[in-house]
Structure 1
Amino acid sequence: MNYSYIIIDDNQENALETKAIADGFSELSYLGIASDYDEGLNLILEHKPKLIFLEIEPANKKSNLSLALISELYRYLNVVPKIIVTTSKKELAFEAIQYEVADYFIKPVTRIDMMKSLLKIEKSKTNDQSIPSSSKVEPKTDIVPKVAKPETSSIIEPLILCIKSYGDYRYIDTRDIAYFQADNNSTDIHLNNGEMITAFKTLKHFEGVLSYPFVRIHNSYIVNSSCISRIHTGNSVCYIKNTAIKLPFSKSYKGNVDIIIAEISSGNYLEI
């Protein structure tokens, strides 16, 4: 997934904090920041981002930032971007839901908030594409017009990771990767078949270029969450499918492990 985005917030410091969090996700592409209604609307119409971070309870009332901006977008755009509200108050959450915003963040925005939201957006997009167009039901609301059908996209091919060294190109289907392990300034890539390949990039580099299902769970490990067969929160370990391998996860990355648990349970899932 790849989402271009803009930030609309009358507080420059808060806007930059949101941008700093977003910059940690390789799938997010920054387009600009606006500080008031008119500037924000013009920026949206000019760049047509896929994602908007919108403050709806501004400190400066003259900025005119509010949910009304969403209604205005329907006048000009066939496909309205996903809206994520970023504000310090909870009071407008219910009203924001009526506008069918993608998410509602209470400031300060955190990395976990961002990751959860991107996962939800990607999942909803996948579900939308799996439903025949003839059977889709348009949402009904008295506040904004019906949403135009989402843009169609081609089937996403599996990501191929190329490890290049002195003219040697090693191609790896990322679905075959079980986990990454840090080794000083290099990273060992462990495949499902037990093979290990060394790449002369840091683990932080891979964290920056890979998205879900690859999740950082420890200073030394990024795991393919599709390869996890068991998570023991008491012992702080993840088990890799069809192996005896147990990967530790650290307290600082516990939030990422919680996201893995939530994502697995949101699928075709039965808990006993």
Structure 2
Amino acid sequence: MIRMIQEVFGEYDDYHCVGLSESFEKSMNPILKYHPDILFINVDQQCCNGSPYSFCKEVQEFSGKEILFVALSVEMLKAYMAIKNKFYDFLLKPGEEAELRKTALGILLNKERENSEKTICLKSYKDYTLIKTNDIIYLEADNNTTDFVLCDNRRISAFKTLKTFEDALSENFVRIHHKYIVNSKYISKISFGKQICILSTKTKDISP
């Protein structure tokens, strides 16, 4: 089933396998090292320091981020324990490709929905402006301030450096230059020869 998971999830650019482990004990260190977003847990396997569910709670406690746990089992009855322990999903082994694909697409859709609903508060002069991050085309540094260019053609200045927002924005925002952060959703083409990032909105072409 592991091979099927790798093949199905590997079809989507958003997923990348960072490791496999034969036991819970050996997996803790690489999990804390690589900070995965999703963990597939064989809940039929024995765990020396407790149950697979207590292992997941420990991982969540030290990971510093929310992890989606997907339970794998040959017993349908274990789905109840997975749900009770707030697992994202339960997959019955040996697994079906269609069910794996539903899980993969479901995670992507939830992620897209969360990104579209996320807002950020910008302070400029005496005003505070709330904007949806999904409406941001790109950010441009201007000394110690940052200009936000939005899809409705507004440009809003904020009294913080570009670096501050780089750490706060989601991973679909890419810093392509020391002066620019671009929402990858609006990137149409990147010309490495001309060193130009072409935007689908026709707002402007970004270059060093």
User: Which TM-score applies when normalising by structure 1?
Assistant: 0.42
Q: Does 1:55 align with 2:30?
A: no
Q: Work out the CA distance in 2 between the residues paired with 1:107 and 1:126.
A: 28
* CA 1:25–1:162: 2 relative to 1, 3 Å: same
Indicate if the aligned counterparts of 1:36 and 1:64 stay in contact, CA closer than 8 A. Answer: no
Q: Which runs of no fewer than 5 residues in structure 2 stay unpaired?
A: 121-167, 174-182, 192-197, 201-208
* CA 1:121–1:18: 2 relative to 1, 3 Å: closer
**1:66 corresponds to which residue?**
52
AA matched with 2:108: E
Q: CA deviation at 1:111?
A: 3.1
Q: CA deviation at 1:117?
A: 1.4
Alignment of 1:166-205 (within 5 A): none
* CA 1:56–1:88: 2 relative to 1, 3 Å: same
Q: Work out the CA distance in 1 between the residues paired with 2:104 and 2:38.
A: 10
Q: Equivalent residue of 1:52, what SS?
A: strand
Number of residue-to-residue matches in the alignment: 140
AA matched with 2:82: A
**1:43 corresponds to which residue?**
30
Q: Equivalent residue of 2:95, what SS?
A: coil
Q: Does 1:93 align with 2:120?
A: no
**2:7 corresponds to which residue?**
20
Q: Work out the CA distance in 1 between the residues paired with 2:169 and 2:74.
A: 34
User: Which TM-score applies when normalising by structure 2?
Assistant: 0.53
**1:111 corresponds to which residue?**
97
Deviations 1:164-214 (A, max 9, x none): 9xxxxxx896xxxxxxxxxxxxxxxxxxxxxxxxxxxxxxxxxxxxxxxxx
* CA 1:121–1:22: 2 relative to 1, 3 Å: closer
Q: CA deviation at 1:67?
A: 1.7
Q: Work out the CA distance in 1 between the residues paired with 2:190 and 2:98.
A: 29
* CA 1:22–1:108: 2 relative to 1, 3 Å: farther
**1:158 corresponds to which residue?**
185
Q: CA deviation at 1:49?
A: 0.8
**1:245 corresponds to which residue?**
none
Q: Identity of aligned pairs, percent?
A: 15
Q: Work out the CA distance in 2 between the residues paired with 1:40 and 1:81.
A: 15
Q: Which runs of no fewer than 5 residues in structure 1 stay unpaired?
A: 1-13, 134-150, 165-170, 174-272
Q: Equivalent residue of 1:85, what SS?
A: strand
Q: Equivalent residue of 1:105, what SS?
A: strand
Q: Work out the CA distance in 1 between the residues paired with 2:59 and 2:48.
A: 20
* CA 1:24–1:108: 2 relative to 1, 3 Å: farther
Indicate if the aligned counterparts of 1:36 and 1:65 stay in contact, CA closer than 8 A. Answer: no
Q: Does 1:125 align with 2:114?
A: no
* CA 1:25–1:107: 2 relative to 1, 3 Å: farther
* CA 1:113–1:163: 2 relative to 1, 3 Å: farther
**1:76 corresponds to which residue?**
62
Q: CA deviation at 1:68?
A: 1.8
Q: CA deviation at 1:47?
A: 0.8
* CA 1:31–1:127: 2 relative to 1, 3 Å: same
Q: CA deviation at 1:48?
A: 0.7
AA matched with 1:158: K
